[in-house]
Structure 1
């Protein structure tokens, strides 16, 4: 045994160690409280509708329902413990950053910078839906989008710009002050007609660095959220179905879905609470 310990460069005592689980000595793995079963049923009701939510967002949704019923809120660590006890926690798959990103895309006030990007939704029957959207880099509200069954063109981006200005400033068709319009370097965003329309709408077109999607991180995160929480949870059997569901997805994201950066509030709740 001594020779084996020397070969593997470990202490000899570690070769005799036999781990004993808490269950074997009669102790539960987690402590439990009498109300845990009631909270578990509330958690399951949320997860049944929103299976991609982790314990933080589940806690927010449970506390919203409890507030409506006049009951006390619960701590998110308690929700985390109950979800871990019952195998309801999501696997943690955080990719390691290859290089630091020190740029800040988010703004302190709304209508200073809007970001835009596109995404492709594939349907079960082979159809594709192409979506471009506009987000505010402060409150994260997705206040305008366009959707087509064919690849988007510069004309679609121009329509998106007009919709975005109308959504925030009415039918004036011009921003009261210059707003940055952040996008990637796709040809539909860099088209001359798009830049010209941007100047007329008082939108300053700016672009991310080449091969740096993190420079438009808010838009990239939105694409991930929409696909994870809505697209992959729905029956997207055809393009017609997706086009009908898109308004519901955007409305739920803006009015219901909690966001960690916004203090676990939805974009609309955050705007109302801050009252810019």
Structure 2
């Protein structure tokens, strides 16, 4: 039997089953797999997905494991979470979008405070008002360091305020220049390319870098942050008016920095990653 199985390239158990069964025998099928603790874990998963409807199993898993670890219970495998969420119909629809261009550049540095990126986006309120938001992001730890928001057009003055606030957020209040050169990566929007903005950034010790023309994907890390913020916060929140949105913005950024699991950070939040990699 072994020689036959090797010659055919099949398992011996398959041949044994075929020999012992009759043509009318139907192959035995295993029923749904489950564990005794699945029901309790699924209840925890439902709490997470009800609060964060845009989270799939990959980001639900670290949040669930944080709860279990705080209670001294063993962690669960992402595959188990996937199985339970699939059985309960809690999985997200699979994304099928394809990028229009391929960008091979490496944006993420090996340490924090080597390259920062910035971008802006718009939030449309239900009453027709609009909120313009600009933010700064560290390309290593992915922390959204600071943001500015306005109901008017985004100006170079606001971008310069963002630069100064970002500097103080990372190096302390009253800091007027970076301890070492830091790249400041943005697109080619007028508030970023204005001469006053470029000169002000250089005076702070920032190395002004802009993306190629008509290529916003070159600032992909900032673009990805915008997508995450809109998907996980903006699209799930009340947007009655600009005032309501402005009141919620600080909580959104704080939640992203302290709770949001990030795939590039091994499913840790930006603050968790910074804490784990900060010198002692």
The CA distance in 2 between the partners of 1:114 and 1:203, in whole Å, is: 9
| Pair 1:72–1:186, CA change in 2 (3 A) | same
Cross-structure match for 1:31: 33
The CA distance in 2 between the partners of 1:123 and 1:28, in whole Å, is: 51
Equivalent of residue 218 in structure 1, options 200, 212, 221: 221
- Runs of 4+ in structure 1 deviating by more than 3 angstroms, as ranges, are 24-30
Aligned 1:160-239 pairs, distance under 5 A: 160-170=162-172, 171-239=174-242
How far off its partner does 1:27 sit?
5.0
Cross-structure match for 2:21: none
Cross-structure match for 2:133: 131
Deviations 1:123-167 (A, max 9, x none): 111111100000000000001110000110111111111111111
Deviations 1:177-215 (A, max 9, x none): 111100001111100000110111011111001122221
Cross-structure match for 1:249: 252
Give the RMSD, CA atoms, in angstroms: 1.5
Equivalent of residue 46 in structure 1, options 39, 42, 48: 48
The CA distance in 2 between the partners of 1:88 and 1:253, in whole Å, is: 22
Q: Does 1:80 align with 2:65?
A: no
Aligned 1:62-81 pairs, distance under 5 A: 62-81=64-83
TM-score between the two structures when normalised by the length of structure 1? 0.88
Equivalent of residue 112 in structure 1, options 111, 114, 119: 114
Deviations 1:67-106 (A, max 9, x none): 1111111100000011111111001113223443210111
Cross-structure match for 2:59: 57
Cross-structure match for 2:10: none
TM-score between the two structures when normalised by the length of structure 2? 0.87
Deviations 1:208-243 (A, max 9, x none): 011222211110000001000000111111111111
| Pair 1:40–1:227, CA change in 2 (3 A) | same
Report the count of equivalent residues.
253
Deviates more, 1:28-37 or 1:162-171: 28-37
Contact 1:107 1:138 in 2 (8 A): yes
